[in-house]
Structure 1
């Protein structure tokens, strides 16, 4: 029996343009994370292990942008999100009930990990309120997974496996990330800069990012969105 299904539409390997689109999915997130959350987490966990350092950095930035609800400049992970599926091929990932009654993963093979990760993240970010926040937290944990046993992975995502399976190299706290983006020492997580300093620093960096002040016209949009996400993370934490 199919418990959850994620359809990922993406460019064929031989096509030079890299695009991704979402499909009709069967994803239930209640009770949290639900079978849908487990499937999204599994897709991220399996495919994130194939990313290089540059892609991992972009994934960190994307998670932080999604967490604060920022507009997502394209492309991300070198893939552009599109609404239609013209010219794309489909890969289907499923969480199913096996013959022994236990949950089992049926993940499609992929030549490129990025579209599968992006589809899982974008689908999680489409959810409302608390569900969205819980899913993004789960996906942060999922990308730390190191291993190949699907049964262990499902136990890990369900909270039944110790955190010793984490890869701490990608365990980037959003506060640490935001401090680094705005140029603050990343060690001062217990003594965050005050709101006025955050806003003043943000305005200075925002001005520098603008093409009229020497910023790259090609990268300005992405840089501005990243700065905005970092500012919002720090201001939200200051007001918490």
Structure 2
């Protein structure tokens, strides 16, 4: 959604957002204003596939660029609308966040849509299981039972001293590491 929304007429954005609400509520839409309609019979039609793939520890998008931007956008909206009602609502909320995204379509988008704050980017382990990632980032065993807030704070401070330039660590990459530690602490203690 975020990849193609910048290529459609900006006047269509409110209609697109309204469409996501209609689909979220399970309503049937016969012909959206975006000029394209849902094609149920697929005989003779080319399918396009967009994927989120691993590239080492990070996640990257692979986009199939064939077709008009409106087709890609409506395809995503209708696919989300076909989900079970329990899954549809959170997916549509993420789609609406993607519609309003103005940054690059990459790790920052993945992190934002995954609920991460600050400059933490979407690593495969962080997006896949944020709690395990946070435990590991703060030096707890990945399979440990939820540590107390006090233990989280203690490990956060210890790791912060290890990566902070004021305590002798490298300046390069320090801001990213500090942001990741802060995000890991937030995940584990909810602050």
TM-score range, shorter chain: 0.5 to 0.7
2:22 to 53, 65, 82: 65
| Contact residue 97 and residue 103 of structure 1 kept, 8 A | yes
Distance 1:141 1:88 in 2: 29
1:135 to 66, 69, 91: 91
Question: What is the aligned partner in structure 2 of residue 47 from structure 1?
Answer: 4
Alignment of 1:148-163 (within 5 A): 148-162=104-118
Question: TM-score, normalized by length of structure 1?
Answer: 0.45
Matched, 1:81 2:38: yes
Query: Which consecutive residues of structure 2, in runs of 5 or more, have no partner in the other structure?
Result: 119-191
Q: Once the 2 structures are TM-superposed, how far is the Cα of residue 76 of structure 1 from its aligned partner?
A: 4.5
Give the structure with the larger helix fraction: 2
Q: Once the 2 structures are TM-superposed, how far is the Cα of residue 105 of structure 1 from its aligned partner?
A: 0.9
| Secondary structure of the structure 2 residue equivalent to 1:69 | coil
The CA RMSD over aligned residues, in Å, is: 2.0
Question: What is the aligned partner in structure 2 of residue 120 from structure 1?
Answer: 76
Question: What is the aligned partner in structure 2 of residue 97 from structure 1?
Answer: 54
Distance 2:100 2:66 in 1: 20
Structure showing greater Rg: 2
How many residue pairs end up in the alignment? 119
Q: What per-residue deviation string (whole Å, max 9, x for no partner) do you get for residues 137-181 of structure 1?
A: 11111111012241111111111245xxxxxxxxxxxxxxxxxxx
Question: TM-score, normalized by length of structure 2?
Answer: 0.56
| Secondary structure of the structure 2 residue equivalent to 1:95 | strand
Q: Once the 2 structures are TM-superposed, how far is the Cα of residue 127 of structure 1 from its aligned partner?
A: 1.3
Query: Which consecutive residues of structure 1, in runs of 5 or more, have no partner in the other structure?
Result: 1-43, 163-240
Moved over 4 A (4+): none
Question: What is the aligned partner in structure 1 of residue 150 from structure 2?
Answer: none
| Contact residue 48 and residue 117 of structure 1 kept, 8 A | yes
